[in-house]
Structure 1
């Protein structure tokens, strides 16, 4: 079986749980508890799990005995002294009510072709499950899942190097960091061209993150483990005190959550220069402040349109960004690539300067939104959608790129717009049907003139009627 066939088989097991009222997202969490035990057996690393709770303990029990054993397993492993085990099974409870359903899932997983799964990569298999979950838009799971083609493009252009410290302050399922790890592995013959110390750094320290939501944090830990990454993924809020220690990074790659803090709350950190209820603006401040001020540290962040044009505090934060960093590129993304239809997003690429003044001289904007084919579940985003943008981004001399989608704006141009970065969108062809319509002001003026002429004629008629002595009743006053 291929990984895709295994993923489809695992996903179809969710149908077994529908009568239990289990959602897709709950199913993926439940599957994580069970798959962890199976994958540790396949990886021959079961020694970290208490012997009485290893995979075979599940396959040899049935009915209520299995159900009670599984519930106790979740409780006891969650209290393990092993950090990874305790984090993945923290506060773990089962959403399965029927013992027969639990047994069917375990038996089905045990019968899968795990030799083929190991060959293709257990990490790739798990990522496939996460992507499947994200595509189930009714669950809202896609809110923390960035499309793989977009992640791969961002990683390629930011180009993480061996020895660099990379971070995602809104880690989700750790997709950005896993892609960054793959990128560096390709450069280093899967780390074999590095020294043992350098290779250990890549596995244990190079890729880190922070995630607020417990269940999502659990998925991120599992994803990292299956990709053989041991960097710390903090369970916490980057916009709280926990985020103050997230700093001095070489590369930051992230897609922060959209929206505002609940009840209009502001971040609890006291080290942000500007405070606002807009979470993305707060994350943006955190990101550029978390980069090393060495002229090389860089970031790419996915942000909604409102960050580009929000007034007052928004304008101050954008100005601060362009002072401290070289904001060299903005990619206007197409709509329909995230779970919520109509959400308009962008990627900001910037490099932290060596000083905190006057780092942005010009901003290049690439419009991948206007006049694009309709994207969505039936026509998903592909890597080749970014081919022309990648070519323009990497050009040694961007001024020689002949592409109407790629335009440059000087810092002075932006200042004149109150530091608005809502720039670079080309003419929408769908509006071309209105091109030949007359100028609305001119049309209104002509209409007013005609109405004035008509009113003048009516006044003349009234005057003539008065002169002839015709009364309002129609009677001749001379009679």
Structure 2
């Protein structure tokens, strides 16, 4: 039985399309034949697995969420909190007319969120639209085999794709090249950390050397910073008049050099209309201070497309933890209401946490720094407002971890420069 099971897994992994992605490099980790028999025959075989897509999909999502909270497994780095996904999707408002891509899809949370939102009008769709929603509405790219399997199964259990059809999840490094295809919506939370596993060579001819070299003429700046490269990649694959919502760490907003050059292009060639400053303590990965950038791609123009950028600060004087005080969708409701999705931006109104900044104000800032704050941290002025000791400790750890990431990136850059000069 053990031998036969192993052969079955290997055969399924060689199948084309969705089935091959789900069983890609699958292994039998149950070495005891007696335990394997009990698992398959006595437990799995006696269950009824016809509960429906919604029930099976929700159960699978619950398992993924529990896996993400397990620090030992490291699964949290591929998992974006569903409350953040829901708010991002509601602002972007994908419809059945769109095509949605996530170039670092993890377990597929953004793709599920977009599909669920667009499916609200399914009762009024024609057969072609329903087929598009099922078979070609979403596309994901994931570099890690095991995570790609989870994403493919996640989509399948939620009614997307076909086990015998083309896979909606592509297993590769999204930064390798320009895929040629363009999508109308990009939703993404690229992997944290600054060091890239590859060498990038941009149109400027410079290189950031590491293991292997990749030349991309569509990249306007050369850097080994993964977030900046993912941002450039997203700027490439987004179709004209397409909408993007991307989670990016603070350093993308203030880093000089390549970061400054990229921010200038983003403000000029795209409409960067909204920035959401996320609070700390909401991601499973430690040391993350992140933001969500919402921007639209526009046709070529002699004048900058960004006229006004609205910044919502959900970080200052906000305290969240993963277990005791998690960020919920309700905590993001004021942000969504302030943005007024689908309404003219002229209807937006400034508030204590929601401020607007003109293009001239942004471009005049030192290095076009978009890490903008205006609220005072109450805990620095009133000792009675200090958070709990465990929250303070966690924030100190996150600050130190983020600082170490930055120092490591500087050290890697210096080492690469010395190697290239030698």
Cα drift, residue 103 of structure 1: 3.4
- 2:373 and 2:347 map into 1 onto residues whose CA distance is 15
Q: Which has the higher contact order (CA 8 A, sep 6+)?
A: 2
Does 1:222 pair with 2:153?
Answer: yes
**Aligned position for 1:108:** 43
Q: Secondary structure of the equivalent of 2:286?
A: coil
Contact in 2 for aligned 1:406/1:424 (Cα 8 Å): no
Root-mean-square deviation (CA, aligned residues, Å) is 2.2
**Structure 1 counterpart of 2:183, from 223, 226, 249:** 249
Structure 1 residues 188 and 118, CA gap change in structure 2 (3 angstroms): closer
- 1:409 and 1:260 map into 2 onto residues whose CA distance is 28
1:230-271 deviation per Cα after TM superposition (whole angstroms, max 9, x unaligned): 263211111102xx1254211110111111345673362422
**Aligned position for 1:275:** 222
Cα drift, residue 367 of structure 1: 0.6
**Aligned position for 2:3:** 68
Contact in 1 for aligned 2:282/2:320 (Cα 8 Å): no
Q: Secondary structure of the equivalent of 1:403?
A: coil
Does 1:362 pair with 2:308?
Answer: yes
> Between Structure 1 and Structure 2, which shows a larger proportion of strand residues?
2
**Structure 1 counterpart of 2:295, from 346, 350, 366:** 350
- 2:306 and 2:113 map into 1 onto residues whose CA distance is 28
Structure 1 residues 283 and 120, CA gap change in structure 2 (3 angstroms): closer
**Aligned position for 1:53:** none
- 1:359 and 1:248 map into 2 onto residues whose CA distance is 20
Contact in 2 for aligned 1:335/1:341 (Cα 8 Å): no
Greater displacement, 387-396 / 206-215: 387-396
1:426-471 deviation per Cα after TM superposition (whole angstroms, max 9, x unaligned): 211101138xxxxxxxxxxxxxxxxxxxxxxxxxxxxxxxxxxxxx
**Structure 1 counterpart of 2:143, from 212, 222, 225:** 212
Cα drift, residue 399 of structure 1: 7.2
Q: Secondary structure of the equivalent of 1:167?
A: strand
Q: What TM-score results when the alignment is normalised by the length of structure 1?
A: 0.71
Greater displacement, 105-114 / 364-373: 105-114
> Between Structure 1 and Structure 2, which shows a larger proportion of helix residues?
1
Cα drift, residue 118 of structure 1: 2.6
**Aligned position for 1:235:** 171
**Structure 1 counterpart of 2:379, from 430, 450, 454:** 430
**Aligned position for 1:409:** 357
- 1:229 and 1:194 map into 2 onto residues whose CA distance is 16
Cα drift, residue 396 of structure 1: 4.9
Superposition pairs of residues 461-472 of structure 1, within 5 angstroms: none
**Aligned position for 2:237:** 290
Structure 1 residues 262 and 318, CA gap change in structure 2 (3 angstroms): closer
Cα drift, residue 228 of structure 1: 2.0
Which structure has the larger Rg over C-alpha atoms?
1
Superposition pairs of residues 75-474 of structure 1, within 5 angstroms: 75-80=10-15, 82-106=16-40, 107-112=42-47, 114-115=49-50, 117-118=51-52, 120-189=54-123, 193-230=124-161, 232-241=168-177, 244-262=178-196, 265-266=199-200, 268-271=214-217, 272-293=219-240, 296-356=241-301, 357-394=303-340, 396=344, 401=349, 403-417=351-365, 418-433=367-382
1:342-388 deviation per Cα after TM superposition (whole angstroms, max 9, x unaligned): 41111000111122540111211101011113322232221101011
Cα drift, residue 283 of structure 1: 0.8
Listed as ranges, the gaps of 5+ residues in structure 2 are 162-166, 202-213, 384-422
- 2:98 and 2:377 map into 1 onto residues whose CA distance is 41
Q: Secondary structure of the equivalent of 1:390?
A: helix
**Aligned position for 2:420:** none
Q: Secondary structure of the equivalent of 2:8?
A: helix
- 1:327 and 1:223 map into 2 onto residues whose CA distance is 32
Contact in 1 for aligned 2:196/2:226 (Cα 8 Å): no
Superposition pairs of residues 21-36 of structure 1, within 5 angstroms: none
Listed as ranges, the gaps of 5+ residues in structure 1 are 1-65, 435-479
Contact in 1 for aligned 2:274/2:294 (Cα 8 Å): yes
Contact in 2 for aligned 1:364/1:407 (Cα 8 Å): yes
Contact in 2 for aligned 1:366/1:424 (Cα 8 Å): no
- 1:67 and 1:127 map into 2 onto residues whose CA distance is 29
- 1:361 and 1:99 map into 2 onto residues whose CA distance is 66
